[in-house]
A and B are shown apart, each in its own frame.
Chain A
Amino acid sequence: MHSALFEISTLHYLVLGAALFLLGVIGVLTRRNVVIVLMSIELILNAVNLNLVAFSRYWQSIHGPSALHGQVFAIFVITDAAAEAAVGLGILIAFFRNKETVNVDEVNLLKW
């Protein structure tokens, strides 16, 4: 048990990633403020990234140092996060201008 705790392996990173992911999910589901919901999504994406990079290292140990696919994926995820944040915040601003609220449960423009 001692060595399992103190020799950091891929699994450690995976567990950390899972914890972050769960925090993000709870944030997305329970918060009303859209900005914080978006930030929780960032948390989820980061959890995924952590897993990807951890796997990349694991993969490297098997397939040699140039097997960096996980890191490349992480970079793509970061790119997507940037796009998502830009569009999401743009929508938020447009929404705020119309409804003067940032609460996600008042986003009911499509409801009649």
Chain B
Amino acid sequence: MTDPRSISPLDLDTPDKTFLDANELVINMGPQHPATHGVLRVILRLDGEKVLGLECVIGYLHRGVEKIAENRTYTMFNPYVDRMDYVAAVSNGLGYCEAVEKLLSVEAPPRAQYIRVILTELNRIASHQLWLGTHALDIGAITPLFYTFRDREEILKIFEKYCGARLTTHAFRIGGLQYEAYEGFESDVRNFVSFVKPKIDEYEELLTTNRIWLERTKGVGVISGKDCIALGVTGPVLRASGVKWDIRKAQPYANYKNFDFEIPTGENGDTYDRYIVRMMEMRQSLRIIEQAVEGIPEGPIMAKVPKVMKPPVGEVYHSIEAPKGELGYFIVSDGSTQPYRVRVRPPSFVNLQALDVMCRDQLVADVIAVIGTLDIVLGEVDR
């Protein structure tokens, strides 16, 4: 038998014969498919139900965000980053703001840093909740979706109260925050933390020891830590494969070094481990939020930044740990008001490359589980 990796999924020369003769049956999944999380198109090469290889076709949601950046000022581009990973808009904003701040050599004041951390971690929980709901839905459990959406609603309410938007928040400004935390922000966050803790237990009750869930996720989409590093996979996927790599610890940004939290890791690198890692990350995020909300200092929320930003000529790469992995911004400044080039390193895009490796020799149903477990957002993949 030939090595399945030598077969290109797009090798369409061999005729698509029949089901019976389906040494190579090519099936097109997406872009309109309920389980591809938007407009991902996957071309599957199957042997019966076994996946010989697959190729992702992306770009159905391409909006040219990086090009747009070159025609906008630094401030004007800020809202656009929210549209990339729209379920974790706050993290995207944080990454961009910090990158530009690095370029300008300013630092946001402590109070702003604390509020940023709270909002970003809240957003991480929201993102993981949405992931859990849709992932479970893909595997056939419909109920967790409604549970997670119910609880995510509380986070979105806090966002709405804080900055007026629920999804594409545009919460941060370069140099700090535009809005002071509203009256009762801290108590809202505290209430949320005590509200959501038992809810996470509830999700785990539904799934963690569920026999069918275990059978569907254990040993599915296995990827080793070595492969992850070779492919550039980051985030929970990398950590579930046993690599303890979290930019919040490795290259602390914002003021994460002030907080005490752990990096959950898995061992087997399968779908179940990724599920467990994300569940534990939600708990760790709550821990960070608890610490941050206790320690919010008084003070200004905006550093001194010029009205018209003209960063010095140079380039900067800054990355943060977004819910889905390493989110990096590479910005080249030519000294004008507009960036010369902005390149985004979106975690979803890079993680999606691992799909092929993870799905080889698995079944079609597993492809869906693996797409779910990679937690991709097509807005970010296509930009």
Contact = CB atoms under 8 A, between A and B. Distances in A.
Interface of A: 93, 96-97, 100
Contacts of B17: 100
A9 B316 CA distance: 98
Contacts of B20: 93, 96-97
A97 B17 CA distance: 11
Nearest to B17: A100
Contacts of A97: 20-21
A97 B19 CA distance: 11
A83 B226 CA distance: 52
Contacts of A100: 17, 21
Contacts of B21: 96-97, 100
**Closest 3 pairs between A and B when the two form their complex, measured CB to CB:** A96-B20, A97-B21, A93-B20
B382 to A, nearest CB: 41
A42 B17 CA distance: 29
Contacts of A93: 20
B209 to A, nearest CB: 41
A56 B21 CA distance: 46
A19 B19 CA distance: 37
Interface in B16-54: 17, 20-21
A61 to B, nearest CB: 50
Interface string B186-229: 00000000000000000000000000000000000000000000
A102 B21 CA distance: 13
B122 to A, nearest CB: 58
Nearest to B23: A97
7 contacts: A93-B20, A96-B20, A96-B21, A97-B20, A97-B21, A100-B17, A100-B21
A93 B21 CA distance: 10
A96 B19 CA distance: 12
A16 B320 CA distance: 82
A101 to B, nearest CB: 12
A100 B17 CA distance: 10
A97 B20 CA distance: 7
